[in-house]
Structure 1
Amino acid sequence: MSDYFKPAAAVALAAVLFAGVASAQATGQTFTLEATPQTIAWGNYDAAAKPALTVHSGDTVVVHTLLTNSPTGLERNGVPPDQVEASLRDVYANVPASARGPGGHILTGPIAVDGAEPGDTLEIRILKIDLAIPYAYNGFRYGAGILTDDFPYSRTKIIPLDKAKMVARFGPGITIPLHPFFGSMGVAPPPGFGRYDSTPPTINGGNMDNKELVAGTTLFLPVHATGALFEVGDGHAGQGNGEVDVTAMETSLVGTLQFVLHKGQASSYPRAETPTHYVAMGFDDDLSIAAHKAVREMVDFLVAAKGMTRDDAYMLVSVAGDVDITEVVDRNKGVHVMMPKAIFSK
């Protein structure tokens, strides 16, 4: 078990939680959640949403997600009709306009975790991510992207994906290794947010577009509503830090996710852990403020989890941490701090 979710918990309590997680792993069930008109949330996170599935701590869910593009749009840009997923057609045909928005992401869920309440932390272990279709798309449009005035028109490019070799064939002489991840993973925000737009990431996670969150990593989200109400989607076959034109290699993915609930372990902000790094995040419409938030989150983590003074933690971020731009295009920009685990002896 990671020590990352504990903002100020004692070591003795960590041992108790470790035993509980091990037990949950041994007894947890596995569920499958398909993407259907009844099991998706279109463009929003909402504390009032009804769960598509309810699980217990320790359970695993194989989640099917859909790319955020229409069957018509895909076909218009060269995808053969027989390669457009039937589930995508079903969702577009049968989800009414009143249930869509304010954002555009098709998110599978919500998944409720039994017993989750505000003041808890939900751990999401990303066990596996598989490609669901043999292509991705990248597109830009005027009004979005960091160079929108340079490209005052719209364009979409279909990118073939080679699942056997795990590469994308971007163009002649350009082959990109695939590192699939979910651009959007989040829980419901506080009830006062209402039906919150899926576009800007915030305290509930959501559209973080953090390319570090591949299989083998773990995400920690603060719980703001009963059941947590986790949603996932916006599949990316790969992405560069920044996601500068407003999209990555957008595709449909199948994720195998395990949920572990940490009761009474409050956290203030989304955090993550890879096999090699601790990851702190910050989101704000001002990139500088997002950086401030991410650095402060890492300082807080080092103080709580590693027993450091704030002075030493601040200095360690400067000499050993990497402050990376996550994305600059989702209204709330993202910054994340990567702290290598290898520098710590314990």
Structure 2
Amino acid sequence: MAHHILKANRDTVHLGGFSHQLKPVLTIHSGDSIDVETYTGFYVYDKAPPAFLTPEFIEICQHLPQERKVNSGPHLLTGPIYITNAQPGDVLEVNLEAISPRLPVGFNAIYPNKGALPKYFSEQKVQFIPLDLKEKIAEFPLGSGIKIPLKPFFGILGVATAENRSSVPPGNYGGNIDNKELQAGSRIFLPIFVPGALFSIGDGHSAQGDGEVDLTAIETSMNGRIKITLRTDLKLTTPIAETPTDIITMGFGQTLDAAFESALQQMIELLKRFVGLSAQEAYVLCSLAVNFHITQVVNLPQKGVHGMLSKAMLPKAITNCKLLSRC
């Protein structure tokens, strides 16, 4: 098992989406770990304060090669990373070991015709928000005394598919999930669709409310340490995640009803497969003890809902061995 360092520069990032045609920037083996850099704010860098800019980021924004511009999405992603022996039908386990802002400022953006209330907030507004990295808070509005705890995570964790995809909507390949629960100490499990998986990461957020209602969180260039493991013993059709306290299923749909139904069905299937419950027992348990949250409502055309199952309720034999782990 090796450890790698993946810097973010014009040769290692790509813009706007996922593509199986992109040349990998790093090849690793299952079990390897990576210190990875990410940048955000490609389309607002010319409005940014000096603290938001680095020479590498300016170079990316001004001279990103055309072949690294994949689709119309606004997100800069680091990757793709090729995992040796990964094949369609396998599962990629991404352990998020450490996540931290790499710059002391992030931004929030409202754009016309986007967000949850486009008719009421139609004026473009980009605001840069200082981050107190020592105290791990952001004050907003500045001078208000309102202090937001920094809880950094990567909004985008995804693999390539046979079709080129925008970085905006999430899907069964992962992508722009924007799930604030996926902080350091969590794992996400992604179905693989193309040889090598071609995993990319980015869209760092320092803080976000469930829903991400105005379109963005505190968008932040981010550092992370991840460990990637190839799981040939798992078969999944949609992403599943695990935090230190919960198992998470994720549903995506063009309406919140559809996204909720998908997240619920995924939780029922998980409880049937890994816990041994019948479908009806699982359905009842979801009503009694599983918490469903709105993940995001702005990454059109896909909205997101996630279900959270507390691991504390489950027998230790299941959480220590069967549930998403190797025995």
Looking at structure 2, the residues matched to 48 and 226 of structure 1 have their Cα atoms a distance apart, in angstroms, of: 11
Query: Where does residue 115 of structure 1 map in the other structure?
Result: 85
Contact 2:43–2:74 (CA under 8 A) maintained in structure 1: no
Q: Report 1:114-133 matches (<5 A).
A: 114-133=84-103
Give deviations 1:139-164, integer Å, cap 9, x for gaps. 10111101111012111111110111
Output the amino acid matched with 2:279.
R
Query: Where does residue 9 of structure 2 map in the other structure?
Result: 36
Output the amino acid matched with 1:94.
H
Looking at structure 1, the residues matched to 248 and 308 of structure 2 have their Cα atoms a distance apart, in angstroms, of: 5
Contact 1:119–1:264 (CA under 8 A) maintained in structure 2: no
Contact 1:277–1:340 (CA under 8 A) maintained in structure 2: yes
Q: Report 1:1-346 matches (<5 A).
A: 28-70=1-43, 72-75=45-48, 79-80=49-50, 83-97=52-66, 99-100=68-69, 101-171=71-141, 172-189=144-161, 191=162, 193=163, 195-263=164-232, 265-331=234-300, 332-346=302-316
Looking at structure 2, the residues matched to 250 and 327 of structure 1 have their Cα atoms a distance apart, in angstroms, of: 15
Looking at structure 2, the residues matched to 47 and 96 of structure 1 have their Cα atoms a distance apart, in angstroms, of: 17
Looking at structure 2, the residues matched to 70 and 339 of structure 1 have their Cα atoms a distance apart, in angstroms, of: 38
Alpha-carbon distance, 1:102 to partner = 1.9
Contact 2:110–2:215 (CA under 8 A) maintained in structure 1: yes
Output the amino acid matched with 2:31.
G
Alpha-carbon distance, 1:265 to partner = 2.7
Name the SS of the counterpart of 1:149 in structure 2.
coil
Output the amino acid matched with 1:177.
P
Q: TM-score, normalised by structure 1?
A: 0.88
Output the amino acid matched with 1:125.
N
How many residues align? The count is 312
Output the amino acid matched with 2:290.
G
Alpha-carbon distance, 1:83 to partner = 4.3
Contact 1:74–1:84 (CA under 8 A) maintained in structure 2: no
Looking at structure 2, the residues matched to 98 and 341 of structure 1 have their Cα atoms a distance apart, in angstroms, of: 44
Query: Where does residue 319 of structure 2 map in the other structure?
Result: none
Alpha-carbon distance, 1:260 to partner = 0.6
Looking at structure 2, the residues matched to 294 and 120 of structure 1 have their Cα atoms a distance apart, in angstroms, of: 21
Output the amino acid matched with 1:84.
L
The 1:184/1:72 distance shift into structure 2, 3 A limit, reads closer
Give deviations 1:163-205, integer Å, cap 9, x for gaps. 111111212211100100001000112x1x2x21110000100
Output the amino acid matched with 1:184.
I
Query: Where does residue 324 of structure 2 map in the other structure?
Result: none
Looking at structure 2, the residues matched to 97 and 246 of structure 1 have their Cα atoms a distance apart, in angstroms, of: 27
Give deviations 1:281-317, integer Å, cap 9, x for gaps. 0111122111111000011001111111111011111
Contact 2:93–2:228 (CA under 8 A) maintained in structure 1: yes
Give deviations 1:209-267, integer Å, cap 9, x for gaps. 00000000000000000000000000000100000000000010001000010125321
Alpha-carbon distance, 1:46 to partner = 1.2
Looking at structure 1, the residues matched to 202 and 274 of structure 2 have their Cα atoms a distance apart, in angstroms, of: 30
Contact 1:53–1:111 (CA under 8 A) maintained in structure 2: yes
Query: Where does residue 321 of structure 2 map in the other structure?
Result: none
Q: TM-score, normalised by structure 2?
A: 0.93
The 1:266/1:48 distance shift into structure 2, 3 A limit, reads farther
Name the SS of the counterpart of 1:148 in structure 2.
coil
Output the amino acid matched with 1:130.
S
Output the amino acid matched with 2:103.
I
Looking at structure 1, the residues matched to 22 and 52 of structure 2 have their Cα atoms a distance apart, in angstroms, of: 31
Give deviations 1:304-346, integer Å, cap 9, x for gaps. 1111111101111111001100000001000000011111123
Name the SS of the counterpart of 1:324 in structure 2.
strand
The structure with the greater share of residues assigned to helix is 1
Alpha-carbon distance, 1:50 to partner = 1.3
Looking at structure 2, the residues matched to 34 and 104 of structure 1 have their Cα atoms a distance apart, in angstroms, of: 20
Looking at structure 2, the residues matched to 41 and 83 of structure 1 have their Cα atoms a distance apart, in angstroms, of: 19
Contact 1:49–1:110 (CA under 8 A) maintained in structure 2: yes
RMSD of aligned Cα (Å): 1.3
